[in-house]
Amino acid sequence: MNLVKKIKDKTFDNLTSALIFASGVVLRFVIMLSTDMRFYQHDTLGTCGHADYAIYMCKNWELPYSNLYEYAQPPLNAIFQAIAMKVIGFFTGVKQEDIALYSYSIIMTFIFSVITIIIVYRIILEFNLPRIAKNVFFGVMVFYPGLLCMSAQYGNDTLAYMFFYLSLYLAIKWCKKKDISTIVFLALSIGFGMLSKVSVGVIAFLIGPMMLTVWIRAFSKRQSDKKVLINITFQLILFALIVFPLGLSYSIRNLMLFGQKFGEIYDIAKGTTYDMSIRAYTIFDRYLSIPISRIITEKSGIFHDFVEYNVWVDLIKTSTFDEFIAKSNNISIWLYIIYFMNIAFWIIGVLSMTYNIIRIFIVDKVTKKNVVDLKNISLILFCIAIVAYLYFNIKYPRSCNSNYRYIAYITFALTGSIIVALMDLKVIKNNTI
């Protein structure tokens, strides 16, 4: 009990948050033990899939001389998995090339997922929200179905989002402290994040304006405070000298070896019948329409369909159960409840985002800074997510590319927006503790 109290006192500011965290850890552990490799994700097995990547690293301890399929992705997740395989193989005696040994590496995803929810909680605390707002925010981020699915996947998404949220946390801390150690850790976090998945680099569109604002404010200070400007400028230069070589190293390597452009992926479906069937649909069908009836009554039901052409239908479905496909018509009523609760979350989230955008043009002088900061970050994250999602799907028009996990940070944006709207409408009072 003393250990539990110590953890609660050092990490969480109230018992409810500690219980939410503990429940989330247990739930992730159960999911990890009860699902196989292809339960939620399709690209784990197969030639040059995530499993091949990690097994190759475990056997050879060198980068693969190929950029086929998942080999086009940065190697950090495969390296962590290979280390886990080495350690577990030493104690179990399972051969390095055995897929059974790779299956144990899911422990790394579990660890990344748990670390992520701790980081997310620390971010939430930075906004000094009322206790009920903190707990609701944290509860959504811990129990959101799409994020739970990601905690049982072998791909690099969970590790990438750990670094994504760590980078956001460090950026917020740096804007307050402006110390050199924080900006160095921030640069390393983004760099290693991009070595997990290049798309982590989109966080620059969020933290870039934050850092620029700090620099401009230092630039506009009085003449006697020039040392502040020099210090901030030096830190930003140091940040760039760390993050660009580290974050872009694998991309530069693949560009030089294979001509792979920045952000380019191996297009496994290009030129196939599957590719042509998706391309046959119009821009309106794919991006501009939201077929409500198909979300609710389509034959494929509440689960992802690998020939789904409408990105919004697929986003709703994969944000609930990812790529899980039921093998029986006897689907639990609880799965339907979770699915329709998720639809309600999206509707409320988008409505709250719309409300908050309108409120930007209606100045409220009594709005507290913590609410404004959360509103701005949520809005920018939402815009980044939607633009990145549409760009990726226009460039690679495949159903598998309209998956929620490519923009899972949109859940943070929608939840933050809902909290801000509820506080603005006085549903959640700003003075509650």
Taking residues 194-198, report their average pLDDT.
Answer: 96
Do 305 and 250 belong to one domain?
no
Evaluate whether residue 418 is within a structural domain.
yes
Does residue 160 belong to any structural domain of this protein?
no
Q: How confident is the model at residue 238 (pLDDT cuts 50, 70, 90)?
A: very high
> For residues 266-300, b (16+ Cβ closer than 10 Å) or e, as one string?
bebbeeeebbeebeeeeeeebbeeeeeebbeebee
Residue 425 — pLDDT band, cuts 50, 70, 90? confident
**Residue pLDDT, tens place only, 54-89:** 999 999 999 999 988 889 999 999 999 999 999 988
Residue 277 has pLDDT above 70, yes or no: no
The answer to whether residues 249 and 313 belong to one domain is no
Q: Which domain holds residue 340?
A: 273-424
The region of weakest confidence among 258-262, 268-272, 397-401 is 268-272
Q: What is the pLDDT of residue 430?
A: 67
Which of 262, 293, 323 is the last residue in one of the domains? 262
Judge whether 301 lies within some domain: yes
Percentage of the chain modeled with pLDDT above 90: 56
- Do 248 and 301 lie in one domain? The reply is no
Q: Give the range among 38-42, 165-169, 211-215, 418-422 with minimum mean pLDDT.
A: 38-42
Q: Nearest Cα to 196, choosing from 84, 94, 112? A: 112
In this structure, are 397 and 338 located in the same domain?
yes
Q: Which of 380, 392, 390, 153 is nearest to 263 (CA)?
A: 392
Residue 10 confidence (pLDDT) above 80: no
Predicted confidence at residue 278, as pLDDT, reads 74
Q: Do 156 and 109 form a contact (C-beta atoms < 8 A)?
A: no
pLDDT band with cut points at 50, 70 and 90 for residue 221: low
For 197-218, what is the mean pLDDT?
92
Same domain, residue pair 187 and 211? yes
| Residue 39: predicted pLDDT | 66
Question: Are the C-beta atoms of 101 and 51 separated by less than 8 Å?
Answer: no
| Residue 3 confidence (pLDDT) above 60 | no
Instruction: Please name which of 85, 89, 80 lies closest in space to residue 102, comparing C-alpha atoms.
Output: 85
- If asked whether residues 245 and 344 sit together in one domain, one would say no
Helices then strands (H, E): number in the chain? 19, 0
Burial class (CB in 10 A: 0-12, 13-18, 19+), 3: exposed
pLDDT band at 98 (very low <50, low <70, confident <90, very high): confident
Average pLDDT over residues 19-46: 85
Q: Would residue 30 count as lying in a domain? A: no
| Mean pLDDT, rounded, for 166-177 | 96
What is the model's pTM? Answer: 0.92
- As a whole number of angstroms, the distance between CA 412 and CA 382 comes to 9
Would you state the structure tokens that stand for residue 253, as one six-digit string?
A: 């390597």
Task: Give the pLDDT confidence of 333-381 residue by residue, as tens digits.
Answer: 888 899 999 999 999 999 999 999 998 887 655 567 778 899 999 999 9
pLDDT of residue 298: 56
Instruction: Tell me, yes or no, whether 94 lies in a domain.
Output: no
Longest dimension (CA), the chain: 73
Q: Is the pLDDT of residue 229 over 90?
A: no
Rounded distance between C-alpha atoms, residue 304 and residue 321, angstroms: 8
Q: Domain for residue 248, yes or no?
A: yes
Same domain, 303 and 397: yes
Residue 361's Cβ-count burial label (10 Å; 0-12, 13-18, 19+) is exposed
pLDDT at 38: 67
Type of residue at 260: Q
d(CA 100, CA 40): 18
Instruction: Give the closest residue to 126 by CA, choosing from 173, 182, 181.
Output: 173
pLDDT at site 418: 97
The total number of structural domains in the chain stands at 2
pLDDT of residue 363: 66
Residues 200 and 239 occupy one common structural domain: yes
Residue 372: its pLDDT value, please?
A: 85
248 plus 217 within the same structural domain: yes
Final residue in a domain of this structure, among 199, 232, 262: 262
More confident residue, 166 or 99: 166
Higher pLDDT, 175 or 279: 175
Inter-residue contact 399 to 228 (CB < 8 Å): no
279 with 314, same domain? yes
Judgement on whether residues 358 and 252 belong to the same structural domain of the protein: no
Q: Quick one: pLDDT at residue 294?
A: 77
Residue 341 placed within a domain: yes
Where does a domain end: 199, 233, 262? 262
pLDDT tens-digit readout, 294-304: 787 655 588 88
Residue 135 is assigned to a structural domain of this protein: no
Q: Are residues 211 and 278 in the same domain?
A: no
